Chains A and B, each alone.
Chain A
């Protein structure tokens, strides 16, 4: 990294000002507002707010629909990470075998990254469509009448698969470039030291992918928590009914549909604290086992 010495404090401050402005306007300020609102009950029609202390929090975490949503979110996030990281890695390993040293293919594969996530999301939703979805027909063949948007478990299944499917190309690209970054001689040294390719993978290649995996784990958890909003919304078509919803989607439902701004703010603050804790845990305990070569 090239180091530049500024004279005075003004130029560097000026340079980070736009970034800071964005952080303040779109993150810090709304966050502070959410914290403030979470201590009030808003009257949606007359704009009066009544201070209620921690009532909204107590209310939120003791309600059965909140707990149900939290349990679903836990399973949902875990499943998405497992599926999308697992398949991303599997595909990357397959591609890496073919790609070693072949320049043109590599560039072509980068396209996956450029076009895949949004398109994959659309395709995923279509695959599960009640009327035209081939997957619905496929499962019907085995006697499973998939009722996305109607049956709780069917919807949960479809949501998880589509959300995970959407993330696979992203993980694939990062794993692939991680694999390609491992020097050839290192794999060759391993080939001399160890007969079993599977064992070589788990003892040499996978540990060297640890920085990539750690990064992707953080990204995928964040994705599963927050960015799956769109997939859930499309699947539910605005009719939550008896269907599973993630905590983030529930914040939206309670706040904007249920007009319970205080309760919804409390939920979002709980989420915020949860994510902060998760991040701390990730960096404290997982990163310690990661080897940055």
Chain B
């Protein structure tokens, strides 16, 4: 057996866990590991400009590929800087392994230089964490970390490694385990067939059904099954913000996103549904509005791999614990063998009703915004132009705010792993580094980050890392000169008292800023140049392009849930409500 130091074993175990890219930032406690990294070519390290950027980029890579994202940071400030990215991944169930250097064991507890109790600080936002105490345990622990991160309901795992464990002078035999068994951890896979049978019976009897599918479809690689089931039953499908792309966005059976900024037709259909098939969702408060007014007449079938998600916020009538793909496969099969479909006449009537809702207030049929004129560019039109120019095929990341909701509403995602955003934590700053991770996963593809002038400045330093690592992402900045989403709430709930949402002419010249980093900067100030500039942007295949689009600073995102209220209680514009 080969003899390796703990530092060397760390990198070797990353390689053996399938890591191609390691996103990170060096520092004292991680230096032995960084030295081991220098002496090999298997794992490529991507030096970011901030540890938050490193975690978001690894997260973007993980979401794009379905693999585990890998991060390496140093102790103390390196570790704490990674926290926002870890929390972001945790809330969206993204598999990450974050290796943090730690001060040597003899110094732990002594408030040593750059000592932070990383295990303690990260505890509430990780799926699990390990501190490695001996070089002998490195390979096995890292293998376990990867297994835990990717299996069951995925999530981030922190591995804290004290510096003495990576000592280059202490070598131990290296062995990567072939199989991982953890007696206290056996994630369920197959669903309970009896429960599935009960669910199928209810589905076949449904008269006003809706399929409500979320991020679990994407994470569980079940988009194909979802589409087959929906077509088999001819049921309408709505996706959560996290589930977009889980069902083809341009398909007739897709009624749009649901929730706080979901479509009128999706929210109204949910409210009137008699059966809701909830798959890979968690009944988030951004979806349900007031939980005890949620879908009063519906029987709820809830499929999720995590038992603790079921009946957490809204009680399920038929809970099914299992991996989404396996459960849906079995459902499809049972329906096929049953030989009969749901009541066609009832469904036809239901579709007629839904189409009528669509005609009345649908995002695409009865726009929720005024048209753009001259230099008044509506942000919605900017996203529509982006959709058109990229033919709906770009990978889109986003930040947090109005621009994020416009991207989710107006870019129709036909594929899973095409849309990336921080849905759970709502982390401004996610978009750019995540786009870098996505670009690394799909070299040559069009990757665009739809952002706002507020969010982009939270991780703008990564424009430099884009240059270094040749990641030609496109930044579509919907510049409304304000923290627009906060402004919208201040308009709606605080009598337009704009507390701390304006920059007082302090915004940088984004075109010059992009150029300073060696990129292309484009400014769009008139609706007539919007499409051309976007085309120009995507014509630069090997360059980062920053498109600064001056959009209407007064626009709001609609529909919007009226809270407290039920799913169908919506503001449709500044003046109309349901």
A binds B: no
Binding site for B on A (CB under 8 A): none
